[in-house]
Amino acid sequence: MKKEEGKMEKIVSLAKRRGFVYQGSEVWGGLSGMWDFGPLGVTLKNNIKNSWWKKFVDDREDMYGLDAAIIMNSKTWEASGHLKNFTEKLVECSKCNAQFRADQLKENKCAKCGGELKEEQSFNEMFETNVGASKDSSSVAYLRPETAQGIFVNFKNIIDSFHPRLPFGIAQIGKAFRNEINARDFLFRTREFEQMEIEYFFKGEEWEKHFEDWRVSSWEWLNEIGLNKDVVHELDVEDKDRAHYSKKTIDFEYDFPFGRSELFGLAYRTNYDLTNHKLDYLDDREGERFIPHVIEPSFGVDRIVFALLNEAYTEDELGGEERVYLKFKPNLAPVKVAVFPLLKNKPELVAKAREVFEIVRKEIPQTMFDDNGNIGKRYRRQDEIGTPNCITIDFDTLEDDTVTLRDRDTGEQKRIKIEDIVSSISI
């Protein structure tokens, strides 16, 4: 895969300019590995999360939703193996003190100044904090590095409340935190991010069937959001590279502007976690007690946002002018429809445009009213944020109750009756 020169910078710049993603704490010089989502970024993220939740929770009978606390009893991380194993090899330059992950260095010298490296150390990437007023070892707690453990420790609660039969799954969307040695590449490797995770429980001998089912439904969802096999590739992760809990992992890799890298992972975690949390399952029909195994599809919301921005980013020429537009699938676009009066200083046009705006937004919630600048500027701005439909109210509208509907990708405009406008918009 060839890297696309300058694309990363263009995406980061558009994301900031148009209110998708800002550098965290920017006015104070920023904080490495932290990003803030602006109004359009939040909506894009919500659209991604809602589409995921609908497919994997609402549209299924075997899934239960959960929203567990971010800070958990420290014993959780002892049991899960994270206190011991959630480490990376850290190396530091003896000359300029730059720090690197050993596995990301191409040569045995500092990648910044070429200086000698100090001896390798193990670095645990969990963020540590204290709960309550005392700051001793008994109050130490960690921000969760994966949402998954919140699911495992609630396994018994869900069983006691709902008595589900195997196989069934628990899904959760929430923040996770990792004190990455090298936060890098925009939203790709950050220190605070969001995961959408599922733990799907079943009898151990059925693992291959469930792994395959989740591989297939992961692809279905990817296609729904506009990521297909031209840009996402499966990588069967080798034994030595798998997480400590996994017996099989497929990484779904995406062609990011900086190169091919993990978008999300699908892992067979066996019964490792439930065993360590001392939890099991009673099949009352068979009178059998055992520890279920799990398949875990684990999606990173921020990496999906990055991939979708990269996929959508398009430069072309329209009407003899160069333009940039985001070719989001309409169901994900943060603004689905923009409604404009042709001229902002004609009260009768503004009033009519407001009337049309109210009609449309009742049916299509992510609709906005825009009367900023001239019509050409509005089209360019809406193209740049990926709005698939623009409606313009002009003087003919006042005569015959028709409006123009403009398509983002082709720039084509059609004249449509106001009463037909909602049914003419596909989202």
Q: Where does this chain bind ligand GAP (CB under 6 A)?
A: 146, 148, 178, 180, 189-190, 193, 195, 197, 262, 264-265, 296, 298, 300, 302-303
When the beta carbons of 189 and 406 are compared against ligand GAP, the nearer one is 189
CB-nearer residue toward ligand GAP: 34 or 427:
34
- The two structure tokens encoding residue 211: 């792994």
Q: How far is the CB of 86 from ligand GAP (least distance, A)?
A: 9
Provide CB contacts within 8 A for 104, sequence distance 6+: 182
Q: To the nearest whole angstrom, how small is the minimum distance from the Cβ of residue 296 to ligand GAP?
A: 6
Phi, psi of 114 (to 5 degrees): 80, 5
Closest distance of CB 78 from ligand GAP, Å: 17
Q: How far is the CB of 189 from ligand GAP (least distance, A)?
A: 4
The least CB distance from residue 122 to ligand GAP, in Å, is 17
Q: Which is nearer to ligand GAP, 174 or 265 (CB)?
A: 265
Coil vs helix vs strand at 363: helix
Q: Is 146 helix (H, G, I), strand (E, B) or coil?
A: coil
Tell me whether residue 30 or residue 114 sits nearer to ligand GAP (CB atom): 30
Radius of gyration of the chain measured on its C-alpha atoms: 25
Nearer to ligand GAP, 235 or 416 (CB): 235
CB atoms within 10 A of CB 241: 11
| Rounded least distance, CB 201 to ligand GAP, Å | 15
What burial letters (b/e) apply to 393-420, b meaning 16+ CB within 10 Å?
bbeebeeeebbbbbebeeeeeeebebee
Cβ 295 to ligand GAP shortest distance, Å: 12
CA distance 242 to 339: 50
- Which residue, 263 or 418, is less far from ligand GAP as judged by CB? 263
Which of 276, 366 has the CB closer to ligand GAP?
A: 276
Directed axis angle between helix 39-53 and helix 301-312, to 10°?
110
Tokens at 110, concatenated: 């500092």
Nearer to ligand GAP, 251 or 370 (CB): 251
| Contact in structure between 143 and 177 (CB atoms under 8 Å) | yes
Q: Which is nearer to ligand GAP, 88 or 197 (CB)?
A: 197
Strand pairing of 389-393 and 337-341? Answer: parallel
Least Å distance between CB 217 and ligand GAP?
A: 17
Tell me the residue nearest to ligand GAP as measured from the CB. 300
How many whole angstroms separate alpha carbon 299 and alpha carbon 173? 9
H helix and E strand count, the chain: 13, 24
Q: Among residues 258 and 411, whose Cβ is nearest to ligand GAP?
A: 258
Residue whose structure tokens are 């670095």: 123
Closest distance to ligand GAP from the beta carbon of 297 (Å): 9
In angstroms, rounded to a whole number, what is the distance separating the alpha carbons of residues 83 and 54? 34
Q: Which long-range contacts (CB under 8 A, 24 or more apart) does 58-63 make?
A: 62/164, 62/167, 62/168, 62/169, 63/168, 63/169, 63/170, 63/171, 63/198
Residue 391 CB, shortest distance to ligand GAP, in Å, is 37
